[in-house]
Every structure is written in structure tokens, then in C-alpha cells.
Amino acid sequence: MKPIRNKKVLFEYEILDTIVCGTSLLGWEVKSLRAGNANLKSAWVSIKEGEAWMMNCQIVAYSHSQEIMDQARPRKLLLKRREIDKLERQLREQGRTLAVTAMFDKEGKIKTEIALVRGKKQYEKRATIKAREADRRAKSAMKNYR
């Protein structure tokens, strides 16, 4: 399975910390993820009553399934109590949120990478674009030099 990444998070937010966790999924969701049919652009994590939930992650219905499915249902993330408590403490700080950055297959299990993030200011986004373009120009110059 090719990892499904959320590139929007890398541009919109500054990543402070990342955690890889398991995800509670149904059978058709696993099959659909292995086919690469997911959208993480607006996915985020909520902590309710001591449990972590992935919200607004769109997993497109598996093509060979007959049942009616809720594609954007909340999905439980499998984290230890101390990890959830640590995340809850960090979320209390102003401007922090939890975002889903990637979903991938590891040893037959679907894993989700979540990140504690802080929103970037507009000038930080412009600096990111400028650095990306400078790297692209440098790689091109090195390629033409050889």
C-alpha cells in the first residue's frame, strides 16, 4: 500500500510533534485504503472522554461492497492512556491542534500518523514557498551543471 499523505497540513501548519497510532476500521475501509481511496485534507483529531477520535476523514466506499456506508464517520484511534493525557495537556496551549498527516500499512495493519501542530502565519507560508522554489532552482542548476 502506498502511503496516503496530507500535504496541506505540511503547508498550513508547523509540525511540533508526531505520533503513529493504530486505527479502528471496518473491513471495507481497510480494502478501500489499500486501494488508495481516502482523502485526509480536512481530517483532524478530537479527544472526547479520554479517547482519541479521527474526524472528517473521507474513505471512499469500496467498489465491490454491497452495503451502505458512512464515508466520514468518526474513527477511533488506538492510543495508550498516557499518550492521550500528554496530547490533552499540549492541546490546552493556545493555537495547538491535532491533525492527521498520513495513513499507511505496516505489517498488515493500517496505521495513522497524527501531528500536534500550530497554525502558520501568512509570512511563514510565503517563506515556505520561497524556500521550496529556491531548492527546485538549485536542483535544476546542479542537474544542468553535470
Q: What is the pTM of this model?
A: 0.78
Query: Domain-by-domain residue ranges, the chain?
Result: 4-120
Residue 66 is given by DSSP the state -
Separation CA 62–CA 55 (nearest Å): 19
- The owner of cell 473521507 is 58
Cα-to-chain-centroid distance, residue 27: 20
Query: Looking at residue 19, what is its pLDDT?
Result: 93
* SS3 (DSSP) at 61: coil
- Selection from 114, 112, 100, 104 nearest residue 34 by Cα: 104
- Selection from 56, 88, 51 nearest residue 72 by Cα: 56
Please write the tens of the pLDDT for every residue from 111-125: 999 999 998 888 888
Fold designation for 4-120: Small Protein B; Chain: A; (2.40.280)
Query: Looking at residue 130, what is its pLDDT?
Result: 93
Separation CA 36–CA 118 (nearest Å): 28
Please write the tens of the pLDDT for every residue from 67-93: 667 777 899 999 999 999 999 888 887
